[in-house]
Amino acid sequence: MGKGISSITQSKKSSVNKQNLVVLDGLPDLDEFMFAPSRNQLRQVADFLIDLQQCQCFYCGKSLKSSKYAVDHFIPWSLYPADTGHNFVMADENCNSQKSNYLASQQFLHQWQERNHLHDQSIIREISQLGFLTDLQRSHRVADWAYKQAIENEYLVWLGGKEKKILSHPISAIF
Ligand SMILES: [Zn+2]
């Protein structure tokens, strides 16, 4: 294995996204976790997260009772196609579709990191038993990598609602 997040896999598989995967030391091969979760698994993840988030959308805080909702990948699947437990958040239909394949703003990043630290143990307990890799450090290192990519490449990040902006230098020292 390479040296942490600086190593990039050169996957033999054809997916373009996989070429950007982060290789992290001492952790299981990502391929093991690249299965499409069943509806049942996702429903159980949803049940847990709805409870954890007190039935509110992770992003806008609106009640999930009155709208459709989805399990959202905080770090978009298109950037990092693996289901890791801490990466899941519940979002209402609007936020989920507006966020789409974008990274969320730094404010949301901080909120997500805080959530993961606060609820690390219950996320590990509940989501790992559903068959997902749950490792907070790994998830946060993937996030660090993704946001560095975003800064370097001036990606648009999603601010909520219909708002997006380019994430560029200078940026507060979040890493
Ligand atoms: Zn929302």
| Ligand 1 centroid, distance to 95 Cα (angstroms) | 4
Kindly report, residue by residue over 32-58, the tens digit of the pLDDT.
555 667 788 889 999 999 999 999 999
The string of pLDDT tens digits covering residues 102-127 is 999 999 999 999 999 999 999 999 99
Angle, CA of 99, 126 and 110, to the nearest 5° = 40
**Reduced to 3 DSSP states, what percent helix, strand and coil does the chain have, rounded to the nearest 5?**
45, 15, 40
Confidence of residue 12 (pLDDT cuts 50, 70, 90): very low
Q: Please write the tens of the pLDDT for every residue from 128-164.
A: 999 888 999 999 999 999 999 999 999 999 999 999 9
Q: If you measure from the C-alpha of residue 33 to the centroid of ligand 1, how many angstroms do you get, rounded to a whole number?
A: 28
Which of 7-16, 98-107, 165-174 is the least confident region? 7-16
CA of 149 to the centre of ligand 1 (A): 25
Write out the DSSP string of 27-70: S--GGGG-SPPPHHHHHHHHHHHHHHTTTB-TTT--BSTTS-EE
Confidence of residue 168 (pLDDT cuts 50, 70, 90): confident
- Map out the domains of the chain as residue ranges: 35-166
CA of 83 to the centre of ligand 1 (A): 21
Bridging pattern class, strands 103-104 and 156-160: parallel
Query: Residue 120 in contact with residue 136, Cβ under 8 Å?
Result: yes
pLDDT score for 111:
98
Q: Which residue in this structure is represented by tokens 């992003």?
A: 59
Ligand 1 midpoint to CA 4 (Å): 34
Burial label, 32 (beta-carbon count in 10 A; 0-12, 13-18, 19+)? exposed
Residue 63's DSSP bridge partners are 56
Rounded to the nearest 10 degrees, how much is the dihedral formed by the CA atoms of 103, 140, 135, 10? 70
User: Residue 157 Cα, ligand 1 centroid: separation in angstroms?
Assistant: 16
